[in-house]
Amino acid sequence: MKGCQPVIAVKGLANRFGEAVIHEDLDLTVCRGEILGVVGGSGTGKSVLMRSIIGLQTPAAGEIEVLGENMIGREEDEAKNIRRRWGILFQNGALFSTLTVAENVEVPIREYFPYLKPPLLDEIASYKIAMGGLPADAGPKYPAELSGGMIKRAGLARALALDPELLFLDEPTAGLDPISAAAFDELIVSLQKRLDLTVFLITHDLDTLYAICDRVAVIADRKVIAVGTIPELLALDHPWIQEYFNGPRGRAAADTAKEHAQA
């Protein structure tokens, strides 16, 4: 990709759990302003890759740079400066179950800007909730009262609380019905354009890949075997990639994407 300004740069990453080798010599670069989809079979370590990048998992070897800062072996204080600049949507939302949706959204703001007054805080929370696509009565609800789709939207609202430059999404559309999933895709694209976000997106959803990803990284055999646009990937001769995109579901998603483009 020309003129790539790397936001995430992973070099020679290795991850092991005991005997099991998850990653070996894995390289990946995410450029500013793109939506990078990460795909791979179950158990290929997509989530582990994300956890390594955001510092929840210390890799066995390798270098990770996020927003120009080295992520490995950092002090907690230094890491905070980076954490302010990213937002993360976990697979199951990971909302704090004892706080309401509005309070969940306010948590990161309170942490970094404790001097903001409650009225302003509430206003910020309220438009972040609207931005996440939640209905007006969602603010005072607890996560236990929300549906799966609303939990993801609330998680997205929390991830967006500090206007991040970089957004990590771990299977954002998993478990959503197709209509909600499509709406979620659209929401991510429009937010990405308007807020100039860089998005690191782990997904199994082929429709999402076709609809919103600028580039797709494929993880197999413990490393990133290919990164590129979907047509570029289709030109490759790797069996897993061929099966993935040319399987029945892959074709169906491609057809939908074409129809969408024509319409």
Partner 1 sequence: MAATAASTAEGGNPPFRIRGTLTITRAASIQREIDAESDPLTIDLSGVERMDTVGAWLVYRAVRDRGAKVAGATPESQSLLDQVAEFDRPVQVHPDEKSSVTRVIAELGEWIAETGRTLVGLLGFFGATLVAMANLVSRPKRFRWNAVIQRFDVVGVRALGIIGLMSFLIGVVIGQQGAVQLQQFGAEVYTINLIGRITVRELGTLMTAIMVAGRSGSAFAAQLGTMKITEEIDAMRTIGVSPVEALVIPRLIAAVIMMPLLAFWAMLMSLLGGGIFVWLDLGIPPLTYIQRLQEVIPLTDLWIGLIKAPVFGFIIALAGCFQGMLVESNSEEVGLRTTTAVVQSIFLVIVLDAVFAVFFSSVGWI
Site residues for partner 1 per CB under 8 A: 97-98, 100, 102, 109, 112-113, 115-117, 120, 122-131, 134, 136-140, 142-144, 162-163, 194-195
Report the residue number, 177 or 196, with the smaller CB distance to partner 1. 196
Report the residue number, 32 or 249, with the smaller CB distance to partner 1. 32
User: Minimum CB separation from partner 1 for residue 230, in Å?
Assistant: 28
Contact 88, 68 (CB under 8 A): no
Report the residue number, 59 or 132, with the smaller CB distance to partner 1. 132
Q: How far is CA 31 from the centre of its chain?
A: 14
**DSSP per-residue letters across 98-159:** TS-HHHHHHHHHHHH-TTS-HHHHHHHHHHHHHHTT--GGGTT--GGGS-HHHHHHHHHHHH
Q: Kindly give, in sequence order, each residue whose CB lies less than 8 Å from that of residue 181, ignoring residues fewer than 6 positions away.
A: 173, 205, 207, 208
User: Minimum CB separation from partner 1 for residue 10, in Å?
Assistant: 27
Report the residue number, 121 or 226, with the smaller CB distance to partner 1. 121
User: Minimum CB separation from partner 1 for residue 90, in Å?
Assistant: 15
Report the residue number, 91 or 242, with the smaller CB distance to partner 1. 91
- From 195, 33, 200, 198, select the one nearest 127 (Cα to Cα): 195
Tell me whether strands 61-66 and 69-70 are parallel, antiparallel or unpaired: antiparallel
User: Minimum CB separation from partner 1 for residue 159, in Å?
Assistant: 13
Quote the CA–CA distance of 102 and 139 in Å, as a whole number: 5
User: Minimum CB separation from partner 1 for residue 165, in Å?
Assistant: 10
Report the residue number, 135 or 178, with the smaller CB distance to partner 1. 135
User: Minimum CB separation from partner 1 for residue 87, in Å?
Assistant: 12
- From 37, 52, 30, 22, select the one nearest 172 (Cα to Cα): 37
